[in-house]
Amino acid sequence: GVCGDLQNKKILITAGPTREPIDPVRFISNRSSGKMGYALAEAAVERGGEVILISGPTCLPRPSGLYKYIRINTALEMRECILKYFYWSDVVIKAAAVSDFRPKSYSEHKIKKNDSATEMTLQLEKNPDILKELGEKKQKQLLVGFAAETDEIKENAMEKLNKKNLDLIVVNDVTAEGAGFEVDTNIVRIYYKDGSAEEIPKMTKKELANVILDRVVKLLKN
């Protein structure tokens, strides 16, 4: 875009799930559709931002007007890609649902079912917390995180915000109807570094994207 309140701002957005391969035909993933991150990317482009969208596997069409669109599969690929553009960016919005764990070893061959066994064990190892790493490397960048919580929402949100050195965190109450995975609407609370919070009523993910970007613009001005 050529005008808008995000003009001259470089915005890095992640969206969707990651896929952690087990063997050539299997993987571990989650229910993230990518809708929230894609809505943010579209809204940021419309407001004049220079936008890089790093996306896990989703069925969504590529938003138009992006500076770069990069598809990744695993959390480790996402990490590498984000680190490449971190110092380029003014704002990083991590809407992706990164897998916390990945299979410890990848089998080059399809794992066969053993007819005599009724159980099998898959060993997992922890993926790096990308956003936490960005929080440690942070210079000028404004960092926005997302979280899905079911209980002790405020405590968990503030702990993540502080631990990851974020400027704001958008929290989904995944137990509420019309919020969270796969649906087109969301109900969230936004928590800020100073401990203040804001309840955002149910709205479409595109409308919510614009509310989040309003807050980002306000913080960039300070």
Q: What is the binding site for ligand C5P (CB under 6 A)?
A: 75, 94, 96, 98, 100, 127, 129-131, 145-147, 160
Rounded to the nearest 10 degrees, what angle do helices 130-137 and 75-85 cross at?
20
Question: Residue type for 36, please?
Answer: M
Tell me if 180 sits within 8 A of 186, measured CB to CB: yes
- The answer to the question of whether 130 is labelled as a binding residue is yes
Tell me if 89 sits within 8 A of 67, measured CB to CB: no
Cα separation of the two ends of the chain:
24
- The answer to the question of whether 129 is labelled as a binding residue is yes
Measured distance CA(97)–CA(15) in Å, rounded: 7
To ligand C5P, the closest distance from the beta carbon of 93 in angstroms equals 8
127 or 141: whose CB is closer to ligand C5P? 127
110 or 163: whose CB is closer to ligand C5P? 163
DSSP annotation of 158 reads H
To ligand C5P, the closest distance from the beta carbon of 179 in angstroms equals 15
Candidate list 8, 30, 162, 186, residue with the active-site label: 30
To ligand C5P, the closest distance from the beta carbon of 209 in angstroms equals 15
Asked if 30 is an active-site residue, the reply is yes
Tell me if 172 sits within 8 A of 146, measured CB to CB: yes
45 or 97: whose CB is closer to ligand C5P? 97
Measured distance CA(99)–CA(150) in Å, rounded: 18
- The answer to the question of whether 110 is labelled as a binding residue is yes
60 or 153: whose CB is closer to ligand C5P? 153
- The answer to the question of whether 128 is labelled as a binding residue is yes
Q: How many angstroms separate the Cα of 35 from the Cα of each of 14, 81, 185, 204?
A: 11, 20, 10, 10
- The answer to the question of whether 164 is labelled as a binding residue is yes
119: its two tokens:
């159980």
To ligand C5P, the closest distance from the beta carbon of 61 in angstroms equals 22
Catalytic center residues: 30
Binding residues for CTP: 100, 110, 128-131, 146, 160, 164
